[in-house]
């Protein structure tokens, strides 16, 4: 019933705004200053076409967060902008998972509140189970950080299955395998308990 309600409440998406969003995500996944600049430009253009496009705000939130993480712009400013965009996305679409993942990462960066971060990441995965970055951040930033390397491998495996073209996800998955003692040999995927 919850899924039926979500599907029936789905809002129409402007295809031009969505195409710009998809292009922006490719640039964002490069994790470079130029990639972030181009991603922000494309996300902004998507929002000029449709100011109520929640994914566009979520994409900008991720871009600002990543610019803080990679020291592209001052952290305090980037995290404030990221939080603002994530909150706009949630206000427009409260069951969109992407902004919850971003808020989890901001919370970890600012206050190291691991319990709240896990709750937000799990909400992100529940609402947007195909959002590879939520699995990536849950595996890499939460589970690995907590020393739960075997479970981290499972989340990285899911992220990699969802987005095998992402260089950051592929390298994170390889690192998770090494940390879990797999020596680069991928285990058979088993969902986390």
Which pair of structure tokens corresponds to residue 14?
């402007």
- C-alpha–C-alpha distance, residues 119 and 100, integer Å: 9
- 181 close to 175: Cβ distance less than 8 angstroms: no
Backbone angles phi, psi at 131, to 5 degrees: -85, 100
Rounded to whole angstroms, the Cα distance separating 48 from 64 reads: 18
| Chain centroid to CA 169 | 11
Residues in the chain, pLDDT under 50:
7-8, 184-193
Enter the tokens of residue 8: 């029936």
Compute the distance between CA of residue 184 and CA of residue 176 in angstroms, rounded to an integer.
9
Identify the three-state secondary structure at position 136.
Answer: helix
What's the pLDDT score for residue 178?
84
pLDDT of residue 108: 86
Can you give the pTM of this predicted structure?
Answer: 0.85
pLDDT at position 8 is 46
Could you tell me the two tokens for 155?
A: 């989340």
CA atoms within 13 A on the CB side of 35: 15
- CB-CB contact of 27 with 39 (8 Å): yes
State residue 113's pLDDT score.
80
CA distance 150 to 65: 27
Indicate the DSSP class of residue 183.
T
* Residue 162 CB-density burial (10 A; 0-12 exposed, 13-18 middle, 19+ buried): middle
């Amino acid at each position: 019933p919850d899924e039926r309600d979500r599907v029936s409440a789905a809002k129409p998406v402007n295809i031009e705004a969505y195409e710009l969003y998809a292009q922006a995500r490719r640039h964002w996944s490069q994790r470079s200053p130029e990639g972030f600049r181009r991603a922000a430009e494309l996300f902004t253009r998507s929002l000029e076409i449709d100011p109520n496009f929640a994914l566009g705000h979520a994409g900008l939130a991720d871009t600002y967060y990543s610019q803080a993480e990679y020291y592209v712009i001052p952290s305090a400013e980037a995290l404030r902008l990221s939080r603002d965009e994530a909150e706009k996305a949630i206000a427009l679409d409260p069951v969109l998972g992407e902004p919850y993942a971003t808020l989890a990462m901001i919370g970890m960066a600012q206050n190291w509140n691991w319990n709240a971060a896990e709750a937000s990441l799990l909400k992100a995965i529940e609402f947007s189970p195909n959002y590879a970055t939520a699995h990536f951040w849950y595996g890499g930033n939460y589970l690995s950080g907590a020393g739960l390397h075997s479970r981290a491998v499972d989340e990285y495996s899911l992220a990699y299955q969802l987005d095998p073209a992402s260089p950051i996800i592929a390298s994170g998955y390889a690192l998770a395998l090494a940390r879990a003692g797999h020596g680069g040999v991928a285990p058979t995927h088993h969902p986390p308990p």
